[in-house]
Amino acid sequence: MLIVRPAGPADLAHLLELAILSGPGFTSLPEDADVLTERLELSQKSFLGQVPWEEAWYTLMLEDSDTGDIDGIGSVKATVGLKRPFFSFRLVNNIVQSPSLGVKLNHQTLVLVNECAGWSEVGSLFLKADRRRGGAGRLLAQSRYMLIGAQPEMFADNVLAELRGVFTPDGACPFWDHVAHKFFPMDFDDADRMTGSTDKQFILDLAPRHPIYVELLPEPARAVIGKVHPQGIPAMALLESEGFRINGLVDIFDAGPTVSCGRDNIRTVRDARALKVELGEDIQAELPALVSTDSIANFRAVRVKVDIHGDSVTIPADAARALRVKTGDIVRVKV
């Protein structure tokens, strides 16, 4: 059975493996053991309620209970942009016209902004290649929303997600090479690492202060603005199915798009029901449901067939063991 559970310091080797497999541009998974150790320590403290709610960063692992293998990761940040700026480029349309010439033009510009301060963020969604089928990705992605729905007051009213931008097969990033690198004279990997491990002061120091006219950029850069890395297309589809929409913001390094949704409008947050557990093995449902615990501290999630009757839900004993719940406990269920 696949289980989504909290990550902690003991998961360092697994997280480092996933970081290496994720490849370039995955800012939240740097190939840096020290940074990942700090992240796992913060995750453990977050689940235990040992940090202020707005500083919490919950990291989730997808574990195969039969083999013990760790096959994926997802995360939720309670807030972004409060202690460290959360920079993006906003793609702005500037309409100009000359009635005397009969000319009307739309000049698009990229403007540096910090608009999402105080929002929550879902991110770090990554699975090993052999798990990208059979519903594992959906389980991991939706588990983040079940976590939010368990205690929504611990998260912001608005939730965003950043998607990785386009990279060529040889690892080059067109937007970085033609645009961002002009302002940040370093390797992409170094900028990527510093984004996740510093206070981002270097961005404030070096980022462009004035709008960048898109028409003046080389075609390879223009072509990838707001586009998703091929590996991120399934993640984009999952986000859209939950109600997330493109909001006109793109990443300042790779130009990948940002999507957002109101917390209470996220489909899984909105539709999951709190039900009382009953145990049984003769489950008649045709399709499995997403089932999670109803608190952050003890969060776990699985996908399993259930029977819902009134305010109760019958689940198999192995699912109850995976969730660490018993008869009479409350779980959240999304059919």
Q: What is the DSSP string of 216-240?
A: GS-HHHHTTTTPPPGGGHHHHHHHH
Helices (H) and strands (E) counted in the chain, each on its own, are 11, 16
CA-to-CA separations, 6 to 62, 132, 293, 317, in angstroms, rounded: 9, 21, 12, 21
CB atoms under 10 Å from CB of 93, counted, come to: 9
State whether the Cα torsion 245-248-251-257 is positive or negative.
positive
CA distance 295 to 109: 44
From 178, 181, 229, 309, active-site residue: 229
CA distance 228 to 65: 32
User: What is the identity of the amino acid at 27?
Assistant: T
User: Is 88 in contact with 258 (CB distance < 8 Å)?
Assistant: yes
Helical pair 136-150 and 233-241, crossing angle rounded to 10 deg? 40
Determine whether 309 is an active site residue. Answer: no
> φ and ψ at 125, to 5 degrees?
-75, 115
* CB contact burial 13-34 (16+ within 10 A = b; e otherwise): ebbbebbeebebbbbbbbbeee
User: Is 119 in contact with 160 (CB distance < 8 Å)?
Assistant: yes
User: Is 268 in contact with 146 (CB distance < 8 Å)?
Assistant: yes
Question: Catalytic residues, which ones?
Answer: 229
